[in-house]
Amino acid sequence: MAATHTLSDKAIRAALAAAGEAGKSRKISDGGGLLLEARPTGSGWWRFRYWIDSREGMLSLGTYPEVSLKDARQRRDEARKLIAAGGDPSSERKTLKADKAARVEAQALADA
């Protein structure tokens, strides 16, 4: 199994600065499928890479620093639990988003 928890806030800030200086994105791993995509703009996107039935999936977990390293690890762990229970985090998110949109639309129609 791959080592986990290899990132620190100091390493993240350094990677974001390096990506900005280089003018191109780079990915740094925390292990366990969690990675930070450091963008040249100085922003960072948390991603969780996973596999279900030999099919790769990628789930966005938010942006750094709005989502801290600790929170990104927690979100990754929640997604891993869903996978272990037979679910797909990306499909689950799409379903929740569609349900929310339907509720908002129904409320708008009821208010009209």
pLDDT tens-place string over residues 8-55: 999 999 999 999 898 999 999 999 999 999 999 989 999 999 999 889
Residue 103, in any domain of the structure:
no
pLDDT tens-place string over residues 95-109: 777 777 778 777 877
Strand partners, 26: 38
SS3 43: coil
C-beta separation of 36 from 46 below 8 A: yes
Section 54-71 average pLDDT = 94
User: Domain limits at 78?
Assistant: 9-87
C-beta separation of 42 from 20 below 8 A: yes
Section 69-80 average pLDDT = 96
Residue 93, in any domain of the structure:
no
For residue 63, what pLDDT is reported? Answer: 96
Section 47-74 average pLDDT = 94
Model confidence at 6: pLDDT above 80: yes
Residue 94, in any domain of the structure:
no
Q: What are φ and ψ of residue 72, in 5° steps?
A: -65, -40
Distance, CA of 64 to CA of 30 (rounded, Å): 14
For residue 70, give the CATH number of its domain.
Answer: 3.30.160.390
3-state helix, strand, coil in the chain (%, to 5): 45, 25, 25
Q: Residue 40 burial (CB < 10 Å; 0-12/13-18/19+)?
A: middle
For residue 90, what pLDDT is reported? Answer: 79
Model pTM score? 0.78
Residue 22, in any domain of the structure:
yes
Residue 51, in any domain of the structure:
yes
Number of domains in the chain: 1
